[in-house]
């Protein structure tokens, strides 16, 4: 049995219940995460994430209605960094299966070039980091760094 207990603009929360368990599950649209690389460095964005403050992370965002994951990845990279490039899909992954339905599509963006300024309302700054020296607390970004370090993509 399921029951919706909250419905907002970007998400809804349901209670799932059967004879053994009861869980609150967050439903959100699918999302994309982009790993922009240039000269063996990764391009990260510094973005405010309440309640953590500003964190360095790879560009990412939700897939809009009727938008393909690739189109969303290209849009997010351009909006958050001002870069365009070629894209290769790595795969799609379940982000937090015990808590949410979110599926995140990962892409590598390569042969990237800056074509405009990034959205300064959303992003504080962008910066290239050496993948062997970068430190962040963001899980998707650490996953991306791991993939690059160990040449798994």
Q: Which residues carry out catalysis?
A: 125
Q: What is the DSSP string of 120-145?
A: TTTEEEEEEEETTT---S-HHHHHHH
Neighbours of 118 (CB within 10 A): 20
- Strand 60-62 and strand 83-94: the pairing is unpaired
3-state secondary structure of 21: coil
In residues, how long is the chain? 153
Burial classification of residue 26, based on how many CB atoms lie within 10 Å of its CB (0-12 exposed, 13-18 middle, 19 or more buried): middle
| Residues 38, 23: Cα–Cα separation, whole Å | 43
3-state secondary structure of 144: helix
């Amino acid at each position: 049995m399921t029951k919706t207990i909250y419905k907002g603009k970007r998400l809804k929360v349901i209670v799932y219940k059967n004879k053994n368990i009861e869980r609150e599950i967050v439903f959100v649209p699918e999302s994309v995460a982009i790993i922009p690389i240039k000269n063996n460095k990764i391009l990260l964005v510094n973005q405010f994430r309440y309640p953590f403050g500003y964190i360095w992370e790879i560009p990412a965002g939700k897939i809009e209605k009727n938008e393909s994951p690739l189109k969303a990845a290209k849009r997010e990279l351009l909006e958050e960094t001002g870069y365009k490039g070629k894209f290769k899909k790595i795969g799609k992954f379940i982000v937090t299966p015990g808590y949410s339905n979110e599926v995140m599509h990962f892409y590598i963006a390569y042969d990237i070039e800056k074509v405009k300024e990034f959205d300064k309302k959303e992003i504080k700054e962008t910066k290239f980091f050496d993948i062997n020296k970068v430190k962040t607390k963001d899980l998707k970004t650490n996953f991306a760094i791991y993939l690059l370090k160990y040449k798994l993509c």
